[in-house]
Amino acid sequence: MSTLLEILSKYWGYKSFKGPQQAIIKTVLQKQNTFVMLPTGAGKSLCYQLPALMMDGICLVISPLIALMEDQVQSLEKKGIKALVLSAKLNRHETIIAFDNLRYGNYKFLYLSPEKLQSPLIQGKIAELELSLVAIDEAHCISQWGHDFRPAYMKVSILNELHPQTPKMALTGSATPQVKQDILDILNLKDVKIFEESVARSNLSIQMLYRENIMGTLLQLLKSCQESSIVYVGTRKDTVHFSNFFKSAGIPATFYHGGLSHDEKTKALNDWLDNRKNVMVATNAFGMGIDKSNVRMILHAHLPNSIENYMQEIGRAGRDGLIADVYLLYNDNIIFESENMLQKSMANPDFCITIYSKLNDFYHIGHGENPETNFIFDLQEFISTYGLPLIKTYTAINHLHQENILFFNQNPNKSSRLRVIEKNSKLFEIQANKKDLGSVLQLLLRNYGGIHDEMITISEVFIARKLNKTRKEVVDLLQTLDKDKVVIYKKKRNHVELKFLVPREDNFVFHSISKNIVSRNKTKLLKSKAMIELVKNDSTCRQFQLLAYFGEKNHSECGICDLCLKRKNIVQTNYQKTAGAILELLKGRNALDANEISIQLGQDRKNVIKTLHLLIERNSIQLNLQHKFELIH
Ligand code: ADP
Ligand code: MG
């Protein structure tokens, strides 16, 4: 059998494991249950993917987001590993076929949403599979105290009945002690081996600054950095407004929010990733799965809804381990706005049920009825028909979605995407033998570079024009290729869809959802309060406060947050500049003493010495035997 390192290098191309990966993998291979809490970007996926390759059977992965699952499956397929996402759209017959393929087709991974897992058909089929491992990703979704509670996650414990012997693994990026306990209890993880790392990010200088003039401060900070940075704002409108403002001040900026088309998102993201635009102005829709190592600064010009969200957002800075600055700018107005927005968006059970009834009326659904249809939903039209408030209505529909009363597909594909997954020999065969399918394939391969490697945006109209066919004919052909597993084809959907999942019974629905909604609202309020308290509390080191929130109490002070710096009498905004300049100066050079450094930098010696001390505390530099400062590698 190959060694772990051989497999790592063969499939992933990496030379060594990161952090506790190897220890986790060994535990999984011994068929022990595991709980893994490592920060985002630590490489958790590998902890179940690699051992699964070495074990017999299929690894079942439960994950909350279709997009994330599709990404993972694509990257496994690229490595030549067979993996499948069970799409929400399959009917009964297609589901049965998919499971037959799984059983007899050498598949190693099955990705599934917790909602899908509730179907008795799928449970039956899973019981028949030989499973190597069950991995529950983003396991904090299981707890109502978690920041992304999903009721369906609680029922994942059914897997203990279906596969009592199979090792289980729960993975999360962050969990408070209460959430962790919930995960262990609800999943009933026996003899579990726990792997957790401190969520501390000692290279982040966290600064929360009270400023009347937010725009001016942002501008000043961005001008001082001129490296890759993210500015988080509260609304989609603000992303545009702020980025225009920065651009007019000569700062290369772009923006990103959930309402952009796929093409617009890709362009904004690439401009930023390739350093054509230094500054990304974004809502919290930006970030999931983004892995850029050299983000030097993250700015918040609004308050995040929770400390969990805040941690995740600032966690995108300084992935390379070098010092990065994260600033949260606030004033009374921003705190007021944050509380106000929360109140405005909070929907209580009564309001949710009103929305439920109105939605049913909107589509003329009578009591006791449950139509099969996927309705096209226009939120604007709905709220103006009944004179409803926008944000609150949106929240209510989301509650109904989370409670599985209806399915609310909020992420339409604004353009069609396609990837060719079949090997060349089979492609030649199709091109040679099947006239229409062959010509579509040929056109795809000639016109869309990289279509073998990733999902590429395509245009059916363009293809139809080239082939002298109608758009409908092209769509049919692409769907055939998708069904035959030659390509993955995601057709564009311009509209939001809504499907009712239970027969209309207003009273019954009200009773079944009230408790969950009340507790979700309470959690939301508490989390927002904790965030505001963190901002306002200027007596304890910021990093210390953050860690205490996540149950880590034994840390020393960070030494580089605004409060620590203030105590040490260091002018806040100079720190990053001076520290960066010192590290740069020492890079690839012999050691220097404090005098030499302050002369070379043209900076006040006292300030330089204070910064040097901090860098020593941070283990970035050390004093050598000649009493000169040098980098620690
Ligand atoms: P998480 O789920 O913990 O947020 P991911 O599994 O998405 O993290 O991995 C984050 C990134 O780290 C990915 O790009 C992954 O390929 C990379 N990675 C994982 N393990 C290693 C390793 N041993 N060496 C280098 N890169 C790794
Ligand atoms: Mg992950």
What's residue 248's pLDDT?
A: 96
Q: How far is the CA of 155 from the centre of ligand 2 (A)?
A: 21
pLDDT-above-90 percentage for the chain: 55
Q: Is the pLDDT of residue 388 over 90?
A: yes
Distance CA(547)–CA(200), nearest Å, equals 7
45 lines ligand 1 (CB under 6 A): yes
* DSSP result, 390-434: HHHHHHHHHHHHHTTSEEEE----SSEEEEE-S-HHHHHHHHHH-
Q: Name which CATH class applies to 573-631.
A: mainly alpha
Which stretch of 313-317, 397-401, 527-531, 587-591 has the lowest confidence by average pLDDT?
587-591
What's residue 384's pLDDT?
A: 93
Report which protein residue has its CA nearest ligand 1's atom 15: 43
Local structure of residue 450 (DSSP, 8 states): T
What's residue 574's pLDDT?
A: 61
Q: How far is the CA of 476 from the centre of ligand 1 (A)?
A: 38
Starting from the CA of residue 25, give the closest ligand. 1
What's residue 572's pLDDT?
A: 55
Report which protein residue has its CA nearest ligand 1's atom 5: 43
Distance CA(126)–CA(90), nearest Å, equals 16
395 lines ligand 1 (CB under 6 A): no
Residue pair 265/300 in contact (Cβ under 8 Å)? The answer is no
Starting from the CA of residue 46, give the closest ligand. 1
Q: Is the pLDDT of residue 65 over 80?
A: no
Give Cβ neighbours of residue 564 (< 8 Å, ≥ 6 apart).
541, 542, 557, 558
The arithmetic mean of pLDDT across residues 328-349, rounded, is 94
465 lines ligand 1 (CB under 6 A): no
Q: How far is the CA of 43 from the centre of ligand 1 (A)?
A: 3
CB atoms within 10 A of CB 328: 25
Task: Write out the H or E segment, with its range, that includes residue 507.
Answer: helix 506-536
Q: Which CATH architecture has domain 204-330+537-557?
A: 3-Layer(aba) Sandwich (3.40)
The arithmetic mean of pLDDT across residues 417-442, rounded, is 88
The arithmetic mean of pLDDT across residues 230-256, rounded, is 96
Residue pair 87/136 in contact (Cβ under 8 Å)? The answer is no
Q: Is the pLDDT of residue 359 over 90?
A: yes
Q: Is the pLDDT of residue 482 over 90?
A: yes
Starting from the CA of residue 289, give the closest ligand. 1
Identify which of 46, 73, 201 to mutate to test ligand 1's pocket (most ligand atoms within 8 A of the CB).
Answer: 46
Report which protein residue has its CA nearest ligand 1's atom 27: 43
Distance CA(420)–CA(249), nearest Å, equals 44
78 lines ligand 1 (CB under 6 A): no
Q: What SS3 state is found at 466?
A: helix
40 lines ligand 1 (CB under 6 A): yes
Q: How far is the CA of 138 from the centre of ligand 1 (A)?
A: 15
CATH ID of 416-490, from 1.10.287, 1.10.3470, 2.60.40, 1.10.10: 1.10.10
61 lines ligand 1 (CB under 6 A): no
pLDDT-above-70 percentage for the chain: 97
Report which listed range, 67-71, 189-193, 452-456, is most confident: 189-193
| Domain boundaries defined on the chain | 4-196, 204-330+537-557, 340-413+496-526, 416-490, 573-631
Q: Which long-range contacts (CB under 8 A, 24 or more apart) does 255-260 make?
A: 255/280, 255/281, 255/282, 256/280, 256/281, 256/282, 256/283, 256/285, 256/286, 257/282, 257/283, 257/285, 257/286, 258/283, 258/285, 258/411
Ligand 1: which atom is nearest the Cα of residue 38? 3
Which stretch of 48-57, 362-371, 431-440 has the lowest confidence by average pLDDT?
431-440
What's residue 585's pLDDT?
A: 87
The arithmetic mean of pLDDT across residues 540-551, rounded, is 92
Q: How far is the CA of 9 from the centre of ligand 2 (A)?
A: 20
Give Cβ neighbours of residue 483 (< 8 Å, ≥ 6 apart).
none
Distance CA(390)–CA(465), nearest Å, equals 41
Q: How far is the CA of 14 from the centre of ligand 1 (A)?
A: 10
Report which listed range, 128-142, 219-233, 274-288, is most confident: 128-142
Starting from the CA of residue 40, give the closest ligand. 1
What's residue 328's pLDDT?
A: 98
Q: Domain 340-413+496-526 falls in which CATH fold?
A: Arc Repressor Mutant, subunit A (1.10.10)
Q: How far is the CA of 40 from the centre of ligand 2 (A)?
A: 7
18 lines ligand 1 (CB under 6 A): yes
Distance CA(338)–CA(303), nearest Å, equals 6
CATH superfamily of 4-196: P-loop containing nucleotide triphosphate hydrolases (3.40.50.300)
Residue pair 300/327 in contact (Cβ under 8 Å)? The answer is yes
Residue pair 93/120 in contact (Cβ under 8 Å)? The answer is no
Distance CA(395)–CA(392), nearest Å, equals 5
Q: Is the pLDDT of residue 568 over 80?
A: no
Q: What SS3 state is found at 386?
A: helix
Report which listed range, 89-98, 125-134, 591-600, 603-612, is most confident: 125-134
Identify which of 4, 8, 11, 14 to mutate to test ligand 1's pocket (most ligand atoms within 8 A of the CB).
Answer: 14
Report which protein residue has its CA nearest ligand 1's atom 20: 43
How sure is the predictor about 494, in pLDDT bands with cuts at 50, 70 and 90?
low
Looking at every residue in the chain, the average pLDDT score rounds to: 89
What's residue 611's pLDDT?
A: 82
Ligand 1: which atom is nearest the Cα of residue 137? 2
Pairing of the two strands 58-62 and 109-112: parallel
Ligand 1: which atom is nearest the Cα of residue 16? 23
Report which protein residue has its CA nearest ligand 1's atom 9: 43
Ligand 1: which atom is nearest the Cα of residue 44? 3
Q: How far is the CA of 45 from the centre of ligand 2 (A)?
A: 6
253 lines ligand 1 (CB under 6 A): no
Report which protein residue has its CA nearest ligand 1's atom 18: 43
Q: Is the pLDDT of residue 177 over 60?
A: yes
Give Cβ neighbours of residue 267 (< 8 Å, ≥ 6 apart).
none
Q: Is the dihedral of CA 452, 455, 459, 460 positive or negative?
A: positive
How sure is the predictor about 323, in pLDDT bands with cuts at 50, 70 and 90?
confident
Q: Is the pLDDT of residue 570 over 70?
A: no
What's residue 604's pLDDT?
A: 73
- pLDDT tens, position by position, 582-617: 888 888 777 888 888 888 887 777 778 878 887 887
The arithmetic mean of pLDDT across residues 211-222, rounded, is 94
49 lines ligand 1 (CB under 6 A): no
Identify which of 17, 45, 109 to mutate to test ligand 1's pocket (most ligand atoms within 8 A of the CB).
Answer: 45
How sure is the predictor about 288, in pLDDT bands with cuts at 50, 70 and 90?
low
Report which protein residue has its CA nearest ligand 1's atom 12: 43
Where do we find the tokens 């209580």? 348
Residue pair 12/72 in contact (Cβ under 8 Å)? The answer is no
Q: Do domains 4-196 and 416-490 have the same CATH topology?
A: no
14 lines ligand 1 (CB under 6 A): yes
Q: How far from chain centre, in Å, is Cα 152? A: 19
Starting from the CA of residue 9, give the closest ligand. 1
How sure is the predictor about 471, in pLDDT bands with cuts at 50, 70 and 90?
confident
Ligand 1: which atom is nearest the Cα of residue 14? 24
Report which protein residue has its CA nearest ligand 1's atom 25: 14
What's residue 261's pLDDT?
A: 76
What's residue 514's pLDDT?
A: 93
* Residues with a beta carbon under 5 angstroms from ion ligand 2: 44
